[in-house]
Amino acid sequence: MKLVIQRSKYSQVTVDNKIVGKIDSGLVVLVGFTHTDTIEEIKKLTKKLVNLRIFDDENHIMNKSILDVGGSILSISQFTLYADCKKGNRPSYNKSMKADEANRLYQIFNDEIKKYNIKLETGIFQADMFVEISNDGPVTIILESEDL
């Protein structure tokens, strides 16, 4: 499992010219799954995500989590996080989990976030989405299940 986390002042996702998810201050999380991912890894990464101290405290030091600041999360499924570009110029997506199983794990991931009482918005799994991210800082963190 791979998460690309961006601190955001405002972000939204549009499908077919309709806004399907938007947040003000919080995190945009791009989520990708590979074949070996498990529910246990989802729980560990979700706990790490909501406790990451990447928001400024009163001294302008990144010392607060999304739980501390009461921010929102915009969760976007993104199979391209497992693109393999080693051969040629056209990425291979063989490392990405098949859609049915990835969708199941993506829903579990989102349910885990909700357990922390964080306002959650999402895109639409497998839709052609237009994602607008106002990266605040900029702050971008990559978390992978293999790093835990």
Q: Is 46 a catalytic residue?
A: no
DSSP 8-43: EEEEEEEETTEEEEEESSEEEEEEE-BTT--HHHHH
Q: Is 55 a catalytic residue?
A: no
Set 6, 34, 55, 79: catalytic member: 79
Q: What is the DSSP letter of 91?
A: P
Set 36, 80, 107, 126: catalytic member: 80
The owner of tokens 């399907």 is 20
Q: Is 33 a catalytic residue?
A: no
Pairing, β 26-32 against β 72-77 = parallel
Which stretches does DSSP call E strand in the chain?
2-15, 18-23, 26-32, 55-56, 62-64, 72-77, 119-122, 130-144
Set 6, 12, 34, 78: catalytic member: 78
Q: What is the DSSP letter of 52?
A: -
Catalytic residues: 78-80
